[in-house]
Amino acid sequence: MNNLYTYISQINKVDSRDSALDSIHIVNSVRQDNSYQELEGKIEAYEILYSFNNGVTIQCSTEAEQFEVNPQVCPECWISYQVITDLADNPIKPHRKNFINHCQQAFWLKMNSAQ
């Protein structure tokens, strides 16, 4: 349970063979909407603070421009996960993970689930 992948998998409800996923779960989440309007269009931005049953807290920040989506292209979107509250005796690594779109995040989750 010291791998950030374990927590990001729980947040994204990824099926995995990782037995650590069976012992942790989200007990609370708080979403803060930070969306705003620009000349080019609306920017959807939000932060979600996830609390887990073992005391770990992870913040997920997402920002994406709202525009017409082409199904052939994965739209740019900034996603960041950061450990806010750690396990004192078993620190989570890495402490931060960033993605530039949902496709990159899905690929990273798939590659890590195979390990």
Q: What is the pLDDT along the chain (115 residues), one digit of tens a residue?
A: 689 999 999 999 887 665 556 788 999 999 999 888 877 778 899 999 999 999 999 999 999 987 666 777 888 899 999 999 988 788 999 999 999 999 999 999 999 887 6
In the chain, what is the straight-line distance between the N-terminal and C-terminal CA atoms, in Å? 14
From residue 81, how far is each of 38, 40, 61 by CA, in Å? 25, 27, 7
What is the percent of the chain where pLDDT is above 70?
89
Could you tell me the pTM of the whole model? 0.85
Domains of the chain, by residue range, sit at 4-113
Q: Residue 80 in contact with residue 98, Cβ under 8 Å?
A: yes
**C-beta of residue 14 within 8 angstroms of C-beta of residue 109:** yes
What is the CB-side half-sphere exposure of residue 108 using CA atoms within 13 A? 16
